[in-house]
């Protein structure tokens, strides 16, 4: 069967499906439904632990079916707290999760503190000016601030794992905010050294390639997490790194010694265009340092251009994957309108062809991208390690684009921006010797899911957190408990854990066979 | 004008039937053809052909839903045109996007084509699968793969987040359904 068959057979589906009326406002209906479901789940789960024993007592509620789903209504999704896993079978665990909300406690920032925090380079006069400004802004002498992160301590008492074991702690983050989210993994209180690996973007993984408007999507909801982690393929691909594609041969056309006439009233934006021919079915052409271009797949031609009077010091290249293109022809234009009649004399550039590997060209351009963009900053110590991680993801992404076999108008810069900014799942991998009953704890800050303030939704001011019970984990969860700590500045707005803070239920036994639990919190 | 009145005009062989059909369903059919072909000239030709086919088909046919009847003709004509374009390597249309996405429903995008006799059974199977979906999922899938509407437009019209992911899951669900019903995907 081919996709065409399904597309064509669709013509013959029943009239009732073709004529279906637009449903009511799905998003809102869903949110209302979710709110009801959350309320029901809260009732069910708060009652059940009490029926089975006191809160905090080990043992699963008798009926956890009501807590299986989570509302996917937050505009900014931070991802769930994910369970520990191992690369070997046979491990079981008693899992306990502590959610520490101490970051929600207000912290006072006095004007004195603010002035003292100004860099040493600020002069006394500037310091005085800043103080005056602060006094105008904060007539009370300062301000309170507080966060919405939760400090998570996710502990596992492990059984059945005598000997050398590879533990893997997955977590959701982006390269941009990675440092804030990396878990600390300890075994019986001793720090475990680990190596970081990064999964692909959810959209790429799901094959949402050419033609999909969010091909570069990150993880935007629980269902995305399920989609990428359920089978284990996503993790395997991440742990393989990018080495498999690093040696992929590519052809690079570097543009050097660019010379254009100065800008003038006639030549508003002297532009350099490289035009060439290619086989669209066999070639993917990426650009680096270019501003625009055109393509004509019917005639097998393509061009890329850049503003010749700008971007001095930037490298510019075409990166060809697959079959080679014809030698690019350089043409100058008066403006970015690279059409006949707008040509400009006196433009020249040298185009140097070389054969290299995907790994080499990605490393070179990624260093330049990081250096010249404000997307991400590394400490000097982990620069090489972090760069290697980012490049491995970039290589897999570019290779995947090429594999999709459809022409995509893209430049490296756009892809790199997506790679660094979007959420993905990272994996902290630790080799260790396990003994029966060892306790492994992952501690990390978990940021909240939320709706944007200006959107004025009914979730305004609400922070959401999800706990994945066993998603993607090969460890059998025998028991699961969850505990709230330092919750005095918060109140529960919804959820499925079954906490009842007013009545002192801040620790609950959960169903280890459930899929996910969630809690929604607002400032109390 | 009501559909039954327009159909009466066809039965009376009154050529104003075509103008009335165009007035009522022209935008729908042009949009549908544009969604698949991406070129206004091609879309216009498909719509003109649709009116001709409709004129020839009614009578003897007497469609229950004129809307579905003409839209289905437009869709089939657009697919024929798309097939022709692909044969001549004129890629890049919206139809190509749709076919690319529907590749998720099959294991081999270049597999053997379904026999003509099997295609109707395939449609019935898709019908049954659509019946199992919730209202929103069904609407989203039909708008995307029947009408060829852009994902962002569907998402926007329903205020629906993560529409592309929803479609992806639906495609995988359809594939599982077809496998279960014995189709070799």
Q: Could you tell me where the beta strands, DSSP code E, fall in B44-86?
A: none
CA–CA separation, A30 vs B136, rounded Å?
Answer: 10
* Subunit contact B114:A221, Cβ cutoff 8 A: no
Q: Which positions in chain A touch B83 (Cβ < 8 Å)? A: 4
Q: In terms of pLDDT, which residue wins out, A158 or B24?
A: A158
| Cα–Cα distance for residue pair B185/B179, rounded to 1 Å | 6
- Nearest residue, CB atoms, B101 vs list A28, A73, A211: A211
Domain boundaries, chain A: 27-105+147-193+435-523, 107-145, 246-382+398-407
Contact B162 A17 (CB under 8 A): no
CB contact under 8 A, A212 and B151: yes
pLDDT tens string A324-350? 999 899 999 988 778 888 899 999 999
Cα A425 to Cα A181, A224, A243, A393, B67, distances in angstroms: 11, 11, 19, 12, 47
Query: Average of pLDDT values for A168-194?
Result: 93
Q: What is the DSSP letter of A104?
A: G
Taking contacts as CB-CB distances below 8 angstroms, the residues of chain A near B104 are: 207
Per-residue pLDDT of A108-122, as tens digits, reads: 989 999 888 888 888
Say how far apart CA A103 and CA A386 lie, in whole Å.
28
CB A452 within 8 Å of CB A77: no
Chain A, 219 to 238: residues with Cβ < 8 Å from chain B are 220-221, 223-224, 227
User: Which of A17-21, A384-388, A489-493 has maximum average pLDDT?
Assistant: A489-493
For B110, the closest of A2, A14, A203 (CB atoms) is A2
3-state secondary structure of A257: strand
- A294: tokens are 């055109």
Question: Does the beta-carbon distance from A26 to B160 stay under 8 Å?
Answer: yes
State residue A310's pLDDT score.
67
Residues 368-397 of A with CB under 8 A from B: none
Which of chain A's residues have a Cβ under 8 Å away from the Cβ of B136? 23, 26
ipTM of the complex: 0.89
Identity of the residue in A2, A12, A73 whose CB atom sits nearest the CB atom of B123:
A12
pLDDT at B165 over 90: no
pLDDT score at A41: 36
pLDDT band for A319, please (50, 70, 90 cuts).
Answer: very high
Q: Which residues of A touch B127 (CB under 8 A)?
A: 13-14, 17
Cross-chain residue pair A8–B79, CB shorter than 8 Å: yes
Residue A215, pLDDT above cutoff 80: no
Q: Which of B77, B18, B16, B12 is nearest to B42 (CA)?
A: B77
Count of pairs with CB atoms under 8 A, one residue in A, one in B: 175
- Residues B158, A406: C-beta atoms closer than 8 Å: no
Query: What fold characterizes domain B100-180?
Result: Arc Repressor Mutant, subunit A (1.10.10)
The residues, any chain, with a CB within 8 Å of residue A379's CB and separated by 6 or more, are: none
What are A406-420's pLDDT values in tens digits? Answer: 444 568 887 888 788
User: How close is the nearest chain B Cα to the Cα of A500, in Å?
Assistant: 31
A266 touches chain B (CB under 8 A): no
Pick B180 or A395 by higher pLDDT: A395
Structure confidence at residue A288 (pLDDT): 93
pLDDT at A231: 80
Among B11-15, B135-139, B140-144, which range has the highest average pLDDT? B140-144
Residue B119 neighbours by CB under 8 Å, 6+ apart = A5, A8, A9, A12
- Evaluate the CA torsion angle B171, A172, A397, A243 in order and state its sign: negative
Q: Can you give the pLDDT at residue A17?
A: 85
Nearby residues of A494 by Cβ (< 8 Å), 6 or more positions away: A35, A38, A39, A42, A71, A462, A518, A519, A520
Query: What pLDDT score was predicted for residue A69?
Result: 64
Min Cα distance B183 → chain A (Å) is 8
**Residue whose C-alpha is closest to residue A494's, from A64, A183, A42:** A42
Q: What is the CA radius of gyration of chain A?
A: 28
Answer yes or no: do B159 and A10 touch at CB < 8 A: no
Q: What is the pLDDT of residue A312?
A: 67
pLDDT digits (tens, 9 = 90+) for A88-113: 989 999 999 999 999 999 899 899 99
Mean pLDDT across A46-51: 30
pLDDT at A27 over 50: no
Burial class (CB in 10 A: 0-12, 13-18, 19+), B111: middle
Does the pLDDT of residue A212 top 70, yes or no?
no
**Smallest CA–CA distance from A210 into chain B, residue:** B97
A126-146 per-position pLDDT tens digit:
889 889 888 888 888 988 888
A47, A207, A408, B161, B184 from A214: Cα distances, Å: 42, 11, 13, 11, 30
Amino acid A421: pLDDT? 80
Contacts of A207 in chain B (CB under 8 A): 104, 168
Q: How confident is the model at residue B89 (pLDDT cuts 50, 70, 90)?
A: low
% of residues, chain A, pLDDT over 70:
83
Does A212 sit behind a cis peptide bond, omega within 30 degrees of 0 on the bond before it? no
Chain-chain contact of A22 with B139 (C-beta, under 8 angstroms): yes
Whether A48 shows a pLDDT value over 90: the answer reads: no
Residue B140 structure tokens: 């989203």
Q: Nearest CB to A18: which of B68, B110, B112? A: B68
d(Cα A393, Cα A199) in Å, to the nearest integer? 7
Q: Apex CA A523: angle with CA A520 and CA A524, to 5°? A: 105
A282 and B CB contact within 8 Å:
no
Q: Domain B3-90 classified CATH 1.10.1740?
A: yes
* Subunit contact B139:A9, Cβ cutoff 8 A: no
Alpha carbon distances (Å) from A21 to B30, B142, B154: 20, 11, 13
pLDDT for residue A36 is more than 50: no
Nearest CA in chain B to A19: B68
pLDDT score at B92: 54
- Pick the residue of A2, A221, A223 with the most B CBs within 10 A to test the interface with B by mutation: A2
Would you list the domain boundaries of chain B? 3-90, 100-180
A28 contacts in chain B (CB < 8 Å): 159
A455 vs B: CB within 8 A: no
Residue B3: other Cβ atoms inside 10 A: 17
Q: Which of B65, B77, B86, B162 to mutate to test the interface with A (most CBs of A within 10 A)?
A: B162
Query: Who has greater pLDDT, B95 or B48?
Result: B48
Cross-chain Cβ contact A25/B158 below 8 Å? yes
Contacts of B101 in chain A (CB under 8 A): 3, 211-212
Do residues B106 and A1 touch, judged by C-beta distance below 8 A?
A: yes
Give how far A508 is from chain B: nearest CA, Å: 32
pLDDT for the residue A121:
82
Is there a contact between B127 and A1 if contact means CB atoms under 8 Å apart? no
């Amino acid at each position: 069967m081919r996709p065409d068959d399904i597309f064509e057979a669709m013509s013959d589906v029943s009239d009732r499906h073709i004529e279906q009326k637009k449903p009511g406002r799905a998003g809102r209906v869903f949110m209302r439904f979710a709110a009801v479901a959350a309320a029901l789940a809260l009732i069910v789960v708060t009652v059940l632990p009490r029926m089975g024993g006191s809160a905090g007592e080990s043992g699963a509620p008798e009926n956890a079916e009501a807590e299986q789903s989570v509302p996917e209504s937050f505009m900014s999704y931070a991802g769930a707290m994910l369970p520990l896993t191992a690369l070997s079978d046979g491990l079981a665990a008693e899992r306990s999760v502590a959610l520490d909300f101490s970051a929600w406690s207000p912290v006072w920032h006095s004007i004195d503190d603010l002035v003292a925090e100004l860099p040493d380079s600020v002069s006394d006069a500037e310091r005085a000016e800043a103080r005056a400004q602060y006094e105008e802004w904060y007539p009370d002498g300062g301000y309170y601030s507080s966060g919405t992160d939760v400090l998570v301590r996710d502990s596992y008492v492990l059984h059945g794992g005598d000997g050398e074991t590879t533990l893997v702690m997955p977590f959701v983050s982006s390269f941009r905010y990675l440092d804030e989210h990396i878990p600390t993994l300890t075994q019986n209180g001793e720090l475990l050294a680990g190596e970081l690996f990064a999964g692909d973007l959810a959209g790429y993984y799901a094959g949402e390639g050419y033609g999909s408007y969010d091909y570069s999507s990150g993880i935007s909801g629980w269902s995305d997490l399920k989609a990428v982690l359920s089978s284990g393929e996503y993790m395997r691909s991440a742990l393989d790194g990018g080495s498999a594609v690093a040696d992929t041969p590519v052809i690079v056309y570097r543009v050097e010694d660019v010379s254009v006439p100065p800008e003038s009233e006639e030549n508003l934006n002297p532009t350099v265009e490289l035009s060439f021919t290619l086989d669209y079915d066999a070639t993917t052409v990426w650009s680096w340092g270019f501003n625009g271009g055109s393509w004509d797949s019917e005639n097998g031609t393509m061009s890329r251009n850049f503003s010749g009077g700008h971007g001095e010091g930037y490298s510019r290249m075409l990166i060809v994957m697959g079959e080679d293109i014809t030698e690019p022809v350089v043409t100058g234009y008066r403006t970015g309108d690279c059409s006949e009649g707008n040509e400009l004399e006196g433009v020249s550039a040298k185009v140097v062809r070389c054969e290299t590997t995907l790994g080499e060209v990605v490393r070179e351009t990624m260093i330049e991208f990081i250096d010249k963009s404000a997307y991400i900053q590394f400490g000097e110590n982990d620069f090489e390690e972090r760069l290697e991680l980012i490049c491995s993801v970039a290589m897999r992404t570019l290779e995947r684009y090429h594999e999709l076999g459809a022409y995509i108008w893209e430049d490296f810069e756009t892809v790199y921006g997506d790679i660094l900014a979007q959420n993905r799942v990272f994996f902290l991998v630790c080799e260790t010797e396990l003994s029966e009953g060892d306790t492994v704890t992952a501690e990390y800050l978990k940021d909240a899911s939320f709706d944007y303030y200006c959107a004025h939704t009914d979730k305004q001011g609400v922070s959401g957190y999800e706990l994945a019970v066993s998603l993607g984990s090969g460890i059998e969860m025998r028991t699961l408990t969850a505990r709230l700590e330092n919750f005095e500045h918060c109140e529960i707005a919804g959820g499925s854990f079954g906490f009842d803070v007013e009545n002192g239920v801040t620790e609950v036994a959960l169903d280890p066979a459930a899929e996910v639990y969630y809690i929604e919190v607002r400032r109390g | 004008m009501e559909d039954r009145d327009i159909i009466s005009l066809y039965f009376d062989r009154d050529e104003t039937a075509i103008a009335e059909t165009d007035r009522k369903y022209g935008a729908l059919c042009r949009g549908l053809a544009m969604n698949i072909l991406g070129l206004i000239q091609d879309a216009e030709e498909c719509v003109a052909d649709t009116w001709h086919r409709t004129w020839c088909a009614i009578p003897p046919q007497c469609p229950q839903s004129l809307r579905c009847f003409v839209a289905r003709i437009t869709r089939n004509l657009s697919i024929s045109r798309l097939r022709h374009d692909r044969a001549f390597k004129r890629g890049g249309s919206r139809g190509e996007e749709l076919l690319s996405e529907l590749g998720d429903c099959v294991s081999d995008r270049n597999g053997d084509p379904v026999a003509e006799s099997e295609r109707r059974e395939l449609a019935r199977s898709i019908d049954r699968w659509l019946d199992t979906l919730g209202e929103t999922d069904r609407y989203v899938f039909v708008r995307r793969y029947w009408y060829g509407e852009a994902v962002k437009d569907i998402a926007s019209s329903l205020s629906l987040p993560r529409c592309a992911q929803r479609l992806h899951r639906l495609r995988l669900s359809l594939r599982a359904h077809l496998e279960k019903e014995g189709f070799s995907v």
